[in-house]
Amino acid sequence: MLEIVQVTRCFGRRTALENVSFQAVRGDIVGILGPNGAGKTTLLRLAACYLQPTRGVIRLNGLDSFLQSLEFRRRMGYLPERCPLYDDMTVGEYLLYRARIKGLPFLKARIRARELAEQLGLGEVRGRIIASLSLGCRRRTGMADALLRDPRLLLLDDPIANVDAVECERIAAGVANAARHAIVLVSGHALAQLGALCTRFLVLRAGCVAVEVTRADLQAGDSGVLLAEVAGATEAALKRVAALFSGGAAAAVKLRPDGWWQLSWPTRQTETVREAVATEVARQGWRLRSVEVVAPSLESRLGDLVAGRAAAAGPDAAARGGA
């Protein structure tokens, strides 16, 4: 288990993180989200023992990141944002060298380096100089380095930034495989990819935890936009009828080129709302071509959370949010 308890980190008079607390267990892939400057990289550096908290405690399976730093780091793998590598080595040489530095016996180091190269799709480039690799291959080489000691905690700082779709899929597959044995914290701004990959999300804003929510909670959210197409009414009459429903006072009404009115407003995604709108339109004697509630995508829900435009969905979200 990873425990981050009331962690604060100051740089002089500037507070980068303030009273951040959360827990994660093996199998969790926690997306660390937030706008630039929110404290994502600082949090990962603290968890990697690259920095120490000004206040608070970080523990991994009972090991204190400050008091037992060496043992803590032996159980941790870290891929920083800039992915430092030795450009004049081949991929195979680099991974073997890093495995030896990390204390693996020579034979085991060779086997582990080759195994990870194959797992992460680096088999064809093992003999290539790192300087000649694409950004995605470099990131996967850095991830292989982070996984050499089979860590219990894997920290990835924006691993899919500026990589193509194929590379993104390969990196995501490597993360999912690592999560079978480890806790994974991964930061980034690619919300669609992180939404599909992560099981939980921690949204930071100005160094504080703004929201903590699971993917299941977000996907279970019932908010959406009601869309109805109606004919035989006037704009004023449609707005008057929409005001009868929750949120309908802010309804948007637009006349389509084919003469049908499109009516829309934020509402709740339930059969009751759809049926009530259909019943009211029929009672007014208008024609109804369609009525549906369109739920926002997971990416858009995450975007709203990061931008502070929405609260987390789900029954337990309120208890986990805010700080």
CATH code for the domain in which residue 63 is found: 3.40.50.300
Name the percent of the chain lying above pLDDT 90: 70
Note the pLDDT of residue 83: 84
52 with 191, same domain? Answer: yes
Domains identified in the chain, total number: 2
Residue 144 falls inside a structural domain: yes
* Position 58 confidence tier, pLDDT thresholds 50, 70, 90: very high
* Position 318 confidence tier, pLDDT thresholds 50, 70, 90: very low
Cα separation of 88 and 98, whole Å?
A: 14
pTM for this one? 0.79
Instruction: Taking residues 242-247, report their average pLDDT.
Output: 85
Domain limits for position 250: 222-294
- Give yes or no for residue 271 having a pLDDT over 70: no
Q: Output the average pLDDT for the chain.
A: 90
- Give yes or no for residue 313 having a pLDDT over 80: no
Cβ atoms of 44 and 185 closer than 8 Å: yes
Note the pLDDT of residue 311: 55
Q: Which H helix or E strand runs over 58? A: strand 55-60
Residue 157 falls inside a structural domain: yes
46 with 194, same domain? Answer: yes
Note the pLDDT of residue 90: 96
Looking at 171, 193, 219, the residue that finishes a domain is 219
Cα separation of 147 and 177, whole Å?
A: 11
Instruction: Taking residues 135-142, report their average pLDDT.
Output: 92
- Give yes or no for residue 321 having a pLDDT over 70: no
176 with 267, same domain? Answer: no
Note the pLDDT of residue 274: 82
Indicate the range of 222-236, 244-258, 263-277 predicted with least confidence. Answer: 263-277
Cα separation of 124 and 3, whole Å?
A: 39
* Position 315 confidence tier, pLDDT thresholds 50, 70, 90: very low
Instruction: Taking residues 105-111, report their average pLDDT.
Output: 96
